[in-house]
Amino acid sequence: MKPSTDRNDALMARARQVIPGGVNSPVRAFRAVGGTPRFIARAQGAYMWDAEDRRYIDYIGSWGPMILGHGHPAVLEAVAKAAAEGLSYGAPTEREIELAEEILALVPSMEMLRLVSSGTEAGMSAIRLARGATGRSRIVKFEGCYHGHADALLVKAGSGLATFGNPTSAGVPPEVVQHTLVLEYNNVAQLEEAFALHGPDIAGLIIEPIAGNMNFVRASTAFVRRCRELCSQHGALLIYDEVMTGCRVALGSAQSLHARALPGFEPDLTVMGKVIGGGMPLAAFGGKRAVMEQLAPLGPVYQAGTLSGNPVATACGLATLRALRQPGFFDALSARTRRLVDGLSAAARAAGVPFSADCEGGMFGFFLLPELPQNYPQVMKSDGARFNTLFHGLLARGVYIAPALYEAGFVSAAHSDEDIDATVAAAAEAFRLLY
Chain residues that interact with ligand PLP, rule: CB under 6 A: 118-120, 123, 146-148, 208, 212-213, 241, 243-244, 273, 283
Nearer to ligand PLP, 8 or 374 (CB): 374
Q: How far apart are CA 292 and CA 111, in angstroms?
A: 8
Nearer to ligand PLP, 269 or 430 (CB): 269
The minimum distance between CB 223 and ligand PLP, in angstroms, equals 17
The minimum distance between CB 283 and ligand PLP, in angstroms, equals 6
Do 274 and 65 contact (CB within 8 A), yes or no? yes
Give, in order, the Cα–Cα distances in Å from 385 to each of 28, 56, 388, 415: 18, 22, 5, 29
Residue closest to ligand PLP (Cβ): 119
Catalytically annotated residues: 146, 241, 274
Bond from prior residue into 297 cis (ω within 30 degrees of 0): yes
The minimum distance between CB 419 and ligand PLP, in angstroms, equals 24
The minimum distance between CB 227 and ligand PLP, in angstroms, equals 16
Nearer to ligand PLP, 178 or 213 (CB): 213
Nearer to ligand PLP, 23 or 425 (CB): 23
HEC profile of the chain: CCCCCCHHHHHHHHHHHHCHHHCCCHHHHCCCCCCCCCCEEEEEECEEEECCCCEEEECCHHHCCCCCCECCHHHHHHHHHHHHHCCCCCCCCHHHHHHHHHHHHHCCCCCEEEEECCHHHHHHHHHHHHHHHHCCCEEEEECCCCCCCCHHHCEECCCCCCCCCEECCCCCCHHHHCCEEEECCCCHHHHHHHHHHHHHHEEEEEECCEECCCCCEECCHHHHHHHHHHHHHHCCEEEEEECCCCCCCCCCHHHHHHHHHCCCCCCCEEEECHHHHECECCEEEEECHHHHCCECCCCCECCCCCCCCCHHHHHHHHHHHHHHCCCCHHHHHHHHHHHHHHHHHHHHHHHCCCCEEEEECCEEEEECCCCCCCCHHHHCCCCHHHHHHHHHHHHHCCEECCCCCCCCEECCCCCCHHHHHHHHHHHHHHHHHHC
The minimum distance between CB 282 and ligand PLP, in angstroms, equals 9
Pairing of the two strands 47-50 and 40-44: antiparallel
Nearer to ligand PLP, 241 or 419 (CB): 241
Do 92 and 77 contact (CB within 8 A), yes or no? no
The minimum distance between CB 83 and ligand PLP, in angstroms, equals 21
The minimum distance between CB 153 and ligand PLP, in angstroms, equals 9
The minimum distance between CB 307 and ligand PLP, in angstroms, equals 13
Give, in order, the Cα–Cα distances in Å from 299 to each of 132, 270, 293, 305: 9, 19, 6, 17
Nearer to ligand PLP, 107 or 424 (CB): 107
Nearer to ligand PLP, 136 or 147 (CB): 147
Cα-based torsion angle of the residue sequence 154, 159, 163, 167 in order, rounded to the nearest 10 degrees: -20
Nearer to ligand PLP, 62 or 190 (CB): 62
The minimum distance between CB 251 and ligand PLP, in angstroms, equals 18
Nearer to ligand PLP, 60 or 427 (CB): 60
